[in-house]
Amino acid sequence: MKEAENDLESAKVSLQGSDLKWAIVKGYFSMFHAFKSLLFSVGYDEHSHDCLIIAVEELFTNKGILPADIVIDIRNAKTARESAGYGLTYGEATAQSVVLDAEKVCRIISDYHQN
């Protein structure tokens, strides 16, 4: 979770500095690292971004342990990151949304780890 929190702070700074592409990228990676912490907590490791998302969905959200919208959030952020990084298409609304979603995902997963 430490890496997730670091990425989230970097995303916020980037958003405040109008570095929208980097805010999206770091916001996504904040969620990615938070999801990795979930897998680590049950003895698994990730081997791809897509497999990580599917594993969290199967192990946590489909079982009602965590809310299903965190999977929607990371999938949306992944799409935004790919658009920003590969298609060079991004905007302020998307960056704000990704950073807000990253805050929510980190909070939910951090609370899970503390309980």
CATH number at residue 86: 1.20.120.330
> What is the residue-averaged pLDDT of the chain?
97
What is the identity of the amino acid at 89?
T
pLDDT band with cut points at 50, 70 and 90 for residue 86: very high
Query: 91-108, pLDDT tens digit by residue?
Result: 999 999 999 999 999 999
Q: What is the pLDDT of residues 29-50, one digit of tens each?
A: 999 999 999 999 999 998 999 9
pTM as predicted: 0.95
Domain membership of residue 26 as a residue range: 2-114
CA 32 to chain centre: 5
3-state helix, strand, coil in the chain (%, to 5): 80, 0, 20
Tally of domains in the chain = 1
